[in-house]
Amino acid sequence: MALPKPPPRRRFPGLSPGRRPPTSTPERLRRMTKEHEEEERPFDPERPGSWRGSSRELVVNPGQFERDLRELVDASKLAEPDEAFDKAKEILDEGGDPNDVMDELNELLDMHGVEAFPSQKLPHPDFLYLNSGDTYNATLVYSYDENKYFVSTYGDIVEGAEPAALDDAWESWIRQGVERCVRRDIEHNIDLSEAEQDALLGRFDDFDDAELRRIFEESVRDVKNAEIGYETDGSVFVHRMGEVCSETADRVITKLQAMKSNRRRNGEMGGLGFIAALRDLTGPVLGTISAVPPSHTGQLFVNFYNIPKRTEPRDRAELENNRMMFTVTGFGRENAPPASGKVKIEQSLSALPRACRLRAKSGSPEQIARYLAEFLNEVSAKIPPKYTHSRATNRR
């Protein structure tokens, strides 16, 4: 008797689209290890845990804030630390005005009062903190900017605010003091003529602020016993400020004079001088050069037609078929020399072969005139003109 065929083997159809695949064992082990390390991590004021509002939404280091708060309560050596810890959490959960919350916590934890940092920003400081009696004792801090409470130290708050405090001090009073000293030294320098003083003051008006600050900080390091310090309220002071300003002024004026000297040697050519120099340098060129002096935007346009000067083209199209145009930017108004001492040349269009391309370049007007002249001399010598309307007798 023939046995019936066994049913086909059932294959696992896979998970339905709505279900997530199970986590692998190695992944679960890594997750458990990470959680354990987080729980065992010692107190670190640089990684404060915190919460916002009455919902106790943990925003940094979940669970860390309560551990930090517990250590803070234990360090306060209160008679009943467990009750104090529960009461502190209750106060934070209820929320309310930060000043009232910090007052209650100050009384509960037997601290030395609620203080603000920086104090000169009252009534709108950056932080409120409980005075714990020592700069680097752990304490409770409230941040107005982030609207959160966290455990840290007063010293860490001050050190974290130092770069911003120095930026504010530079903008509010340090830069003004340095600028006054530089201008005073220029104006009272009897070795400079009035014209030279005006030139240096004008160049100082355009002096880069970042460079001025770099020179100032360099002077602080080089002047004996000079330093940038911070008061307990977060404000900035500069020890030996007068000597630092004088040293900064000497270095800035030296730099301005060097820049002025370079400009006198390489940047005094104006737009019309550039055109004249270009024509002198391209004397052997067989082509024709026409130039438009700088406009009010400081742009100078140079047209080069690769057709012999003795040739009279019968049609404008023949000129256009042999034309190259260049733009030189950076000149001052009314053909004045460039303020920076440099101009930039770029090729705007060309009807000549693609190989005849001028690479953009920046330099003094004298350098750019020589650069363009050498290029045009080479093009005229190597590239024959394209005649479309002139007679053969006009050809080279």
pLDDT digits (tens, 9 = 90+) for 285-318: 666 777 777 666 778 888 888 887 655 555 667 7
With a cut of 60, say whether residue 49 has pLDDT above it: no
What's the pLDDT at 48?
47
Model confidence, pTM: 0.36
In angstroms, rounded to a whole number, what is the distance separating the alpha carbons of residues 250 and 222? 13
Q: Residue 121's pLDDT band (boundaries 50, 70, 90)?
A: low
Nearest to 320 by CA among 305, 338, 337: 305
pLDDT of residue 54: 39
Number of helices and strands in the chain (H, E):
12, 13
Q: How far is CA 167 from CA 161, 173, 216, in A?
A: 10, 10, 13
The pLDDT score that the predictor gives to residue 385 is 82
Backbone angles phi, psi at 130, to 5 degrees: -90, 125
What confidence tens digit (pLDDT) does each residue in 196-255 have?
Answer: 888 888 888 888 888 898 888 888 888 888 887 766 666 777 888 888 888 898 889 888
**Residue 198: enclosing H or E segment and its boundaries?**
helix 194-205
Percent pLDDT > 70 in the chain is: 73
Residues 22, 25: Cα–Cα separation, whole Å: 9
Spatial CB neighbours of 82, under 8 Å, sequence gap ≥ 6: none
Average model confidence (pLDDT) across the chain: 76
Q: How confident is the model at residue 346, as a pLDDT?
A: 92
Q: Choose the weakest-confidence range: 63-77, 227-241, 262-276, 353-367.
A: 262-276
The CA–CA distances, whole Å, from 33 to 26, 49, 264 equal 11, 20, 70
Confidence tier at 29 by pLDDT (50, 70, 90): confident
The whole-angstrom separation of Cα 201 and Cα 195 is 10
* 299-305 vs 323-329, strand pairing mode: antiparallel
Burial call 36-67: b when 16+ CB within 10 Å, e when fewer: eeeeeeebebeebbbbeeeeeeeeebeebbbb
Q: Between residues 278 and 16, which one has the greater pLDDT?
A: 278
Give me the residue spans of the domains in the chain: 46-153, 159-266, 271-394
- The confidence score (pLDDT) of residue 390 equals 58
In this prediction, residue 80 has a pLDDT band, given cuts at 50, 70 and 90, of confident
Average pLDDT over residues 356-384: 87
How high is the pLDDT of residue 336? 78
Q: What is the mean pLDDT of residues 61-90?
A: 79
Identify which of 25-29, 31-35, 125-129, 360-364 has the greatest average pLDDT.
Answer: 360-364
**Does the pLDDT at position 15 exceed 70?**
no
Contacts of 316 (CB under 8 A, 6+ apart): none
Which residues have a Cβ under 8 Å from the Cβ of 295 and sit 6 or more positions away?
none
Q: Tell me which range, 11-15, 144-148, 282-286, is most confidently predicted by mean pLDDT.
A: 144-148
Q: In the structure, what pLDDT confidence band is assigned to residue 148 with cuts at 50, 70 and 90?
A: confident
Is-contact 388 351, C-beta < 8 A?
A: no
What is the structure's pLDDT at 50?
Answer: 46
- Range scoring the smallest mean pLDDT among 41-45, 153-157, 202-206, 275-279: 41-45
For residue 326, the model assigns a pLDDT of 92
Q: Who wins on pLDDT, 263 or 284?
A: 284
- Kindly state the average pLDDT of the residues 347-352: 87
Q: How far is CA 238 from CA 168, 213, 250, in A?
A: 14, 14, 18
pLDDT tens digits, 101-117: 889 888 888 888 888 87
